[in-house]
Structure 1
Amino acid sequence: MPAKTADRRGLLIILSSPSGAGKSTLAKRLREWDSSIRFSVSATTREPRPGEVDGKDYHFLTEEAFKSSVEEGEMLEHARVFGNYYGSPRAAVQDAIDAGQDVLFDIDWQGAQQISNSPLNQHTLSIFLLPPSITELHRRLQDRGQDGADVIADRMRKSWDEISHWDAYDFVLVNDNLDDTEQKLRAILTAARLRRTQQPSITSHVRQLQTEFEATQ
């Protein structure tokens, strides 16, 4: 299992897809592959559900506190969904990235766009998952057995809006086979961890090489 490297910066990993394209399953597999990857804990103004723990499941805020956080620039992204606000606190993500820990975001294209326009953009890795076909997407939603016909129909209507933003992402994968897609995700993440922006020690290493080179002249 890959281990967290102390001398690198963490990645802000965005994974997006229409409902039924395999996003949640693949996010879970990524964390099983590397348990150091953590999920971003969102903030919300909705009331806690039975068993939910503040700071673990969500950061539960009043609407006033949430809006204040947005105005102060403390949210990487935020949106109003079904009458409640949801957002991603910036400070915790920044601390994780500085400590060399990757943070995984399961968000839609609007949240991804906001993060891409944030100061943490240079540390962001965005990946969009496409279904092999619309027919297969519909079948997967039905096979999950979680939603009624009306909910599935609504998710299908919204699917194209999500898919239409595929070209705003760094990588796009057609999830026609979970095992193959997981291997591709691992490869993308492994390569992204080696970006120059993620290796702060590289600059000092190059300077040391320069010093050694000049000493030989």
Structure 2
Amino acid sequence: MSAQAPVYVPVGDSALLVRFGEQMDAAANRRVHALAQRLRQQPLAGVGEAVPGYITLLIHYDPLLLTYDQILAWVRKQAAQTQDEASAAPRCVEIPVIYGGEFGPDLVFVAAHTGLSADEVIRRHTAPTYTVYFIGFTPGFPYLGGMDVRLTAPRLETPRARVPAGSVGIAGPQTGVYPLESPGGWRIIGRTQLPLFDLSAQPPSLLSPGDEVRFVRA
């Protein structure tokens, strides 16, 4: 099945929204980031920041330098040339996790909240192949889509002042990993020793948008 054609929507007089589909989808998200990457590699005078969403890319431009028709024509051309990049097989990274105990202080809560046993929570958490939709919150923090909906759990009412680096958490229908020690309100169910962010590495972040992730019980 061919990918749905992107929809282009003017936003005020200085931005263009490109929408890939109507619902959150890993393939659509890959197309968003492929286009954002291409725009960074092919700069055009008057084009400002391109802000990715789950299935959208908001592109700011200077209306004193570019008309809407000019930015639309240019973005259409760039989008057409990203098809092969967006359809390429994503990289898959395995992350070993120690679940429960001192490394996963909220595993018992998630089990009670969902009505599942702790072992079943772990089984369901390690079963999917996740997609990295965003990197944000702290450097290298991956927002992962594809979690089993049965594991949905609320954030902490009062965030912790200190969440150790490598902590694997759940917030609502998403899961993610804290690359650095920081405050946080996600329900922590385990921890990995795999470094997700290293300033001495190039690139510093282990994961990038569009990558796939598999959690493995350590």
Q: TM-score, normalised by structure 1?
A: 0.21
Greater share of strand: 2
Higher relative contact order (CA 8 A, sep 6+): 1
TM-score by length of 2: 0.21
